[in-house]
Amino acid sequence: MTTLPVQDASTDVRPRKLSRKATGADAVFVHTIRAVGATVLVITGGVGLFLGLQAYPTIKHYGFSFFTEATWQPEADILGIASVLTGTVMVALVAMTIAFPLALLTALYISEYAPASMKSTLVSLVDLMAAVPSIVWGLWGYFLVMEHAADFAVWLDKHASWFPLFNVHDADPNAAVVDISRYSFSMFCAGIAVAMMVLPMSCAVMRQVFSQTPLGEKEAALALGATKWGMVRSVVIPFGRGGIIGGTMLGLGRALGETIAVLLILSPSFEVKGRVLEIGGNTVSALIAGRFGDASKSQLSALLAAGFVLFIITLLVNTVAAVIVNRSRSGAGTDA
């Protein structure tokens, strides 16, 4: 018979304490990531602090009228960003109206309908769109899209001018010879180019969230007799709602700050208007890019004040988007 060894009474049988402190390579990695994250926060805060300090003289001089005045006339000491803020919002809304359904449908197709052999190729093609420089998109919109967008704008003005957004002043879409120049270089044309630039970002976020839908829930829906679309509608889309909203708002943040493409396409004008099909308009980023080179000291401060407002708006939009994505069910309960 085998006898068990008698444990020495002096032996310590208490549970060994586990340390969660990183050591070795893990410690190096943790400290490196913390340093990188802190550096990004310091740089972002430094940019905001610099813009705020540079904007203070302008805001102090013009007061609240700087946000309500539409005219930009430095020589007459009349400066305001009401028109460019309106233009920024209108171009971004046009861009997201076009980009949102394209991004959503593309993400759904790649994650749920595309053959497995094509998925990686499609993902790469969509992601490559984000690598195209903004000036290329601007040239694409200027030389290729604008002519067709103007023709479509004439059609919208002819059949839907009852809607304020599609009404064009001083233009007759039913004339024998339509003045096409009234429909070119508009916020609508600029929004199309911007839409192609924000589409990859929004699509990538949505696709990533859709791909994390729990496999068990999808199989359960199919086992209960749901069609493929029924499963997508009842399981995938509800699960990815946070990703849809977050991706859309991240794209919106990019659209608000787009510069070169808008500068190439949009004919600058300082007028508060919501008629997106009509020639003329301006955005904060295009104003800064167009006036920065020959700006006086006072005008430079005003341009930086406009940039500070855009910085705050974009930061708020991206923060809200990050919060929504983090609160979604992305990755929760996924099957291996």
Instruction: Give phi and psi for 279, each to the nearest 5.
Output: -60, 145
Q: In which band, very low, low, confident or very high, does the pLDDT at 336 lie, cut at 50, 70 and 90?
A: very low
Q: pLDDT digits over 307-327, tens only?
A: 999 999 988 888 887 777 777
Residue 14 lies in a domain: no
Q: In b/e form, how buried is each residue of 305-314, taking b as 16+ CB within 10 angstroms?
A: bbbbbbbebb
Q: How far is CA 246 from the centre of its chain?
A: 9
- 279 forms beta bridges with 186
Is residue 66 assigned to a domain? no
Name the packing angle between helices 187-211 and 116-129 (round to 10°).
Answer: 140
Contacting residues for 254 by C-beta, under 8 A, at least 6 apart: 197, 198, 201
Count of structural domains within the chain: 1
253 in a domain, yes or no? yes
Domain-located, residue 336: no
- Give the model confidence (pLDDT) of 161-205 as tens digits: 888 888 888 777 888 788 888 888 999 999 999 999 999 999 998
Instruction: Check whether 254 has a pLDDT greater than 60.
Output: yes
User: Tell me, what amino acid is at 226?
Assistant: A
Sign of CA dihedral 41, 42, 43, 44: positive
Other beta carbons within 10 angstroms of residue 158's beta carbon come to: 14
Domain presence at residue 225: yes
Collapsed DSSP state (helix, strand, coil) of residue 297: helix
Q: Which domain holds residue 88?
A: 82-327
Of residues 73, 89, 69, 92, the one with CA closest to residue 81: 69
In a domain, 283, yes or no: yes
Identify whether 47 is part of a domain: no
| Cβ neighbours of residue 264 closer than 8 Å, sequence gap 6 or more | 135, 138, 139, 141, 142
In-domain check, residue 211: yes
pTM: 0.84
Q: What are the C-alpha distances in Å from 13 to residues 7, 97, 179?
A: 10, 67, 92
Any idea what the CATH number is for the domain that residue 190 is in?
1.10.3720.10
